[in-house]
């Protein structure tokens, strides 16, 4: 083989490696962007925590946020493709390219998580959402409490500085009450 052929071959391999690296980086960025989007609206946040479930056990919460709307419980789903799901379906389906898979309806556990937090703090609003990545498509209808990341950020937008002080004063004691019950997910049970 000539030197030019070797250089062309090496250049082709380099392009393939760089393209693969770019794909990996974009996927990682999308995953981290979903968590960043959720945390962007919070005045304070807890991630990967356990709270008492009211029956002597603990329930896991992915994100617990203090927002201008009260406390928000968030589960995130990093799925790409068309998602078929409804409030009454036990399993939802994701179709992406030539792949199809199902996952349990996330609303059931979300409602349990919201109920557990409401038990801890009854005097302020507690909301719950399943937040999907922007690559999710609910073109056939979207179940209750499901939002895409950009919609979530728009809905729970962080208020201006003056409003933050008022919200912190109103919700702060209740938020501290909730935080007193939180345990890290990795803590011994």
CB atoms within 10 A of CB 135: 14
Task: List, in order, residues 6 or more apart from 57 with CB less than 8 Å away.
Answer: none
pLDDT digits (tens, 9 = 90+) for 12-23: 766 776 666 665
Q: What is the pLDDT of residue 33?
A: 82
Q: Which residue shows structure tokens 């052929």? A: 5
Domain count, the chain: 1
Establish if 72 belongs to a structural domain: yes
Name the token pair of 107: 């609303």
DSSP characters for 86-125?
Answer: -TT-SEEEEEETTEEEEEE-THHHHHHHHHHHHHH--SS-
CB 114 within 8 A of CB 126: yes
Q: How many CA atoms lie within 13 A of 163 on its CB side?
A: 8
CA dist 127 and 182 (Å) reads 17
pLDDT in tens, 44-56: 999 999 999 989 9
Which pTM value belongs to this model? 0.81
| Whole-number percent of the chain with pLDDT over 70 | 88
> Distance (Å, rounded) from C-alpha 57 to C-alpha 54?
7
Rounded-to-integer distance, Cα 41 and Cα 156, Å: 6
- Round to whole Å and give the CA distance between 113 and 145: 13
Q: How confident is the model at residue 28 (pLDDT cuts 50, 70, 90)?
A: very low
pLDDT, residue 2, reads 80
Q: Is residue 189 part of a domain?
A: no
pLDDT digits (tens, 9 = 90+) for 118-134: 999 989 999 999 999 99
Rounded to an integer, the average pLDDT of 134-161 is 94
CB-based contact 102:90 (threshold 8 Å): no
Domain of 167, in residue numbers: 3-184
In a domain, 14, yes or no: yes
Q: List the structure tokens of 176.
A: 């501290």
Map tokens 């501290």 to a residue. 176
Rg (CA), the chain: 21
């Amino acid at each position: 083989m000539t030197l030019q052929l070797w250089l062309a071959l090496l250049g082709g391999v380099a392009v393939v490696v760089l393209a693969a690296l770019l794909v990996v980086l974009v996927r990682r960025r999308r995953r981290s962007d979903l968590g960043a989007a959720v945390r962007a609206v919070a005045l304070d946040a807890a991630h990967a925590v356990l709270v008492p479930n009211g029956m002597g056990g603990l329930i896991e919460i992915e994100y617990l946020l203090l927002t201008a709307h009260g406390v928000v419980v968030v589960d995130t789903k990093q799925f790409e493709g068309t998602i078929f799901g409804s409030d009454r379906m036990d399993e939802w389906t994701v179709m992406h390219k030539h792949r199809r898979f199902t996952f349990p309806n996330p609303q059931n556990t979300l409602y349990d998580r919201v109920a557990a937090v409401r038990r801890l703090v009854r005097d302020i609003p507690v909301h719950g959402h399943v937040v999907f990545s922007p690559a999710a498509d609910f073109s056939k209808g979207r179940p209750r409490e499901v939002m895409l990341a950009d919609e979530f950020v728009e809905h729970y937008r962080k208020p201006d500085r003056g409003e933050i002080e008022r919200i912190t004063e109103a919700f702060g004691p209740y938020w501290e009450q909730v935080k007193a019950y939180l345990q890290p997910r990795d803590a011994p049970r």
